[in-house]
Amino acid sequence: MGEKTRKGRPKDRLNFLFYFLLICFFALVYRLVVIQVLQRATFTKQALAQRLKDYELSADRGTIYDRNGVTLALSTDMDTVSANPYQIKKKMKVAKEIAPILDESPRSIYKKLTKKTGFVYLGRKIAKDKTDRLKKLNIEGLWFSKESKRLYPGADLAAHIIGFVDIDNKGLSGIELYFDKLLKGKPGWVRQEQDQLGRPIPGGENKYIPATNGHELVLTIDKEIQYKAQLELNNAIEEYQAKSGSVIVMDPRSGEIYALASAPNFDLNKFSQVKDSAVFTDHAISDRYEPGSTMKVITGSAALEANIFTPESSFILPGEIRVGGWPIHDSHERGTETFTFKSIITHSSNIGAATIAKKLGKWPLYSYIKKFGLLRPTGIELPGESQGYVPNPKNWSASSLATISFGQGISVTPIGVASALAAIANGGVSVKPRIVRQIISATGKNVKIDSGKSKKRIISAKTAAMMTNILAAAVTEGTGKSAQVKGYSVAGKTGTAQKPSVGKSGYSGYISSFAGFTPVKNPQLLILVVIDEPKKAIYGSVVAGPVFSKVADFALHRLKILPDQPGEVN
């Protein structure tokens, strides 16, 4: 019995081994069927995905021109060096060789070369001499390609208008940001089948879709007028030791901006070196300030439109009045005098403006402030535009009507004031300010844009004509004499406003301004000058008026606008 059992054991073991191998065989067959038949598509897709690499082809960013076709921003090809870490041997040695050329530390380069990837950037948009030095090293695994870099031929010319882009050509400010989607175009791509070391597989899958370049923009600005505006603005800021300032030059008939200057300024090609980000502020559209006496133009226009007064209406005005317990007086001490409506504006009487506003009433004044667009953004094609502010008349204090009438207790933007005054120059009709004249697609087709010609009547042509004559007198015989231009008639208004203190009540410093247009009977040019916190003088007639005169004289001749007055202006 025991002998049989011993003899049967080898047979049992063979049977067990046979069935075990049979099960393994069927399990293997089943697994092969699953992989090669049932899940074939999935694994094929995964294998292909491991071999296929997509590389984006950046589009050339669209060129930006001034109104005469002068290039303000363009894209140019620069060298970029990258590497396949899998192909780099002796990584530390390579890092030490190329780091000095790329102005990097060997440690940072080594860190990139040890990444578990087939692609890393080592230097983007570098100078050609650096690329040449790297190529001479003959290092396997280094790749050289071309990338588009943004260049600005004018350096600081129209810097706040144009704006700048980051390393990936994404718009960060100005026109570059506002029209980023149109300017950047549509990227293309290359799909390449590679082995695990990143080398192309001969006969493998390769696809190429070219990039579509961005649209081109033609701005309304004139390079030469822009340069002159910046020059005279900088000179005034330096002369009067001012904090900042802006100059706006526009066509009041179309809303086209010839120049929009802000200071302090910066070089677009070196924007990354700017330490104080406040320099990037476009004061012409972002600053809010109390307009001071330029507000009398709105107050006066509202009163004339309401037929409450005429330019010849007479007023007997004391040297000081008290409103809501607060004293109000003019900029220069005087006794009781007789003024006409016209002389209140031309000689910039605060007491006169308060008297006019009292008769007009707070709600009508508030209504015209809104009609002239001072409380909303103009919609100019630039990012960061602020909007003006005035409290609801329900919340006005006993003195608010008086102070708002001559530009205190209300905040406006320079572009808002320019737009409001343009409505008077344009016969009582407002036109939206605009900075873009034309958009051209990559195929050369014009893209339809808002032309800025949508017009809205603010005041009657009769009221606009009366106010224009008053503003012309302000330049010939009133506070705006410093804004006169040889051979041309000018209408305009000075402004000298106290600047509210930050973080505490009261005022500190002044803002000096002048807003005007020329020629008087056929206004083709409107200029606003705003100087923030001048030190050596404060009055708009002294600080801002001369800037207007110099910029206007240059722009009138640049645009070939014929003189309308014989002889010289004294």
565 is a domain residue: no
Q: pLDDT tens digit string along 480-527?
A: 999 999 999 999 999 998 887 776 666 778 999 999 999 999 999 999
Q: Tell whether 215 and 275 lie within a shared domain.
A: no
Q: Tell whether 227 and 214 lie within a shared domain.
A: no
Tell me the HSE value of 382 on the side-chain side, using a 13 A CA sphere.
Answer: 29
| 293 annotated active-site | yes
Q: Tell whether 314 and 400 lie within a shared domain.
A: yes
Q: Tell whether 207 and 275 lie within a shared domain.
A: no
Grouping H, G, I as helix, E, B as strand and the rest as coil, residue 427 is: coil
Domain interval for residue 511: 223-434+451-558
Q: How far apart are CA 206 and CA 212, in angstroms?
A: 20
233 is a domain residue: yes
Q: Tell whether 209 and 338 lie within a shared domain.
A: no
Q: Tell whether 177 and 240 lie within a shared domain.
A: no
Closest CA to 127 of 141, 147, 154: 147
CATH number of the structural domain spanning residue 531: 3.40.710.10
- Kind plus residue range of the DSSP H or E element containing 509: strand 507-518
β-strands 455-457, 436-440 pairing: unpaired
Domain count, the chain: 2
140 is a domain residue: no
Question: Comparing 35-39, 125-129, 265-269, 547-551, which segment has the lowest mean pLDDT?
Answer: 35-39
Q: pLDDT tens digit string along 432-490?
A: 999 999 999 988 888 877 654 567 899 999 999 999 999 999 999 999 999 999 999 99
Q: How far apart are CA 419 and CA 411, in angstroms?
A: 15
28 is a domain residue: no
Q: pLDDT tens digit string along 396-422?
A: 998 999 999 999 989 999 999 999 999
Q: Tell whether 214 and 291 lie within a shared domain.
A: no
Q: Tell whether 215 and 159 lie within a shared domain.
A: yes
293 is a domain residue: yes
Q: How far apart are CA 25 and CA 510, in angstroms?
A: 94
CATH number of the structural domain spanning residue 189: 3.90.1310.10
Last residue of a domain, one of 219, 254, 270: 219
Set 244, 246, 286, 293: catalytic member: 293
Residues 405 and 366 sit within 8 Å (Cβ to Cβ):
no
176 is a domain residue: yes
The reported pLDDT for the residue numbered 198 is: 55
Q: What is the 8-class DSSP label of residue 393?
A: G
Q: Tell whether 423 and 406 lie within a shared domain.
A: yes
User: Cβ neighbours of residue 46 under 8 Å, at least 6 residues apart?
Assistant: none
Q: Tell whether 249 and 167 lie within a shared domain.
A: no
94 is a domain residue: no
